Structure 1
Amino acid sequence: MKVQDIMTTPVFSVAPSTPIGEAAQLMLAHHISGLPVVDASGTLVGVVTEGDFLLRSELGTERKRSPWLQFFLSAGKAADEYVHTHGRRVEDVMTRDVVATTRGATLENVVEMMGRRHIKRLPVVEDGKLVGIIARSDLLKALAQRLTSEPTDAGGDDAVRKAIIAELGRQFWSSNGLVRVEVEGGNVTLSGTIFDERERLAACVVAENAAGVKSVEDQLVCVEPISGVIIMPPPKDPDAQS
């Protein structure tokens, strides 16, 4: 899946000269936590977020330093901070070093950048122009859609069994094929031996994710490889819904 498949467009944006009060009202009205900043030509020049409004003189939240710490602060740094806490325009508080992405980027790449840079959204640009935005909420919507629209017809019990075995075979933790899979009427039974109790839930998740599965019964036996302690599967709960 690519960025272009789930990005939001058109995008609410502001100009560098927009008053910060107007930008804040726009964010509140549309329940968004950040806005791209574009110039008259549509070129992305910055991003303004809720975090840029936290240190403000109007709130009494600007950074206060003791006199001895101020001694080590350069005049330029102090002036820059003053603009950020007292400035009236978006360009006074916005982040200029913008991390952006493209229409063709993968969601894996987007999530990696969001995590590495600790950001919640990425502007989408094409030839320097803003064409969309992708936020964590867009990823959440895409996930919800996939989880609620997966096909239920997997082609019969044998196809379900083969799909589960194939997925287990792709996983490093799956104990080299010691998990046995039986499927009858879409009801899966997992049996065999595992060597780490955490593999139990992982194997059940594999089965639950296979299209066409109605229920999963855990009959796996865990053998602790060092002590030899045997952990039996949990007792059946007749009222449990898988």
Structure 2
Amino acid sequence: MLKVSDLMTKELFTLQRNDSLKAARSIMDLKRIRHIPIVSGDETFEGLLTHRDLLSATISKLADIDSSTQGEIDAGIPVGEIMNSDVRTTTPSTPLKECAYLLLNHKYGCLPVIEDGSKLVGIITEADFLKLTISLMEALEQSE
């Protein structure tokens, strides 16, 4: 049986609660990701910052704010101010099918993967399941 540890991403981009929204926006843009786990210095999971959180903290384009002004504003806001700390998590040993149901039924974009109660060891996202689906479809096509 496949487990979360078989599919999760282990190479993570994380921030700490005092890091700025500007840093978060840069990481999301450069790495093309939509979720950043927030951790303490010892990799204890504290919360999650999503692309949607960043959008809600962005001043509307209708306010006629240019990107450099938005960057200055973002530089002064710590991610701890807008991160979600009430986040559903999973463990490396959770069956993959159970994790898929959680993502689908609750409309989560990701689940942080936690070990020993609070240590962040990975993240599993909708994109991970799409990659798995593509691999399975390719394997089926080759067996025809």
Q: Residue 102 of structure 1 aligns with which residue? A: 91
Structure 1-normalised TM-score? 0.50
Query: Is there any run of 5+ residues in structure 2 with no aligned partner, and where?
Result: 63-75
Matched, 1:123 2:112: yes
Q: Residue 72 of structure 1 aligns with which residue? A: none
- Partner deviation per Cα, 1:87-122 (whole Å, 9 max, x = no partner): 701000000001111111112211221123221111
Q: Residue 11 of structure 1 aligns with which residue? A: 12
Query: Is there any run of 5+ residues in structure 1 with no aligned partner, and where?
Result: 62-86, 153-210, 214-242
Aligned length: 131
Q: Distance in 2 between matches of 1:31 and 1:107?
A: 24
Q: Residue 93 of structure 1 aligns with which residue? A: 82
CA RMSD of aligned residues (A): 2.3
Q: Residue 48 of structure 1 aligns with which residue? A: 49
Provide the secondary structure at the position in 1 that maps to 2:56: coil
Letter paired with 1:126: E
**Which one has the largest radius of gyration?**
1
Structure 2-normalised TM-score? 0.81
Which structure shows the higher helix fraction? Answer: 2
Instruction: Show the 5 A alignment for 1:187-198.
Output: none
Q: Distance in 2 between matches of 1:31 and 1:112?
A: 25
Letter paired with 1:109: E
Greater relative contact order structure (CA < 8 Å, 6+ sep): 2
Q: Which of 114, 126, 132 does residue 103 from structure 2 map onto?
A: 114
Determine what percentage of the aligned residue pairs are the same residue: 29
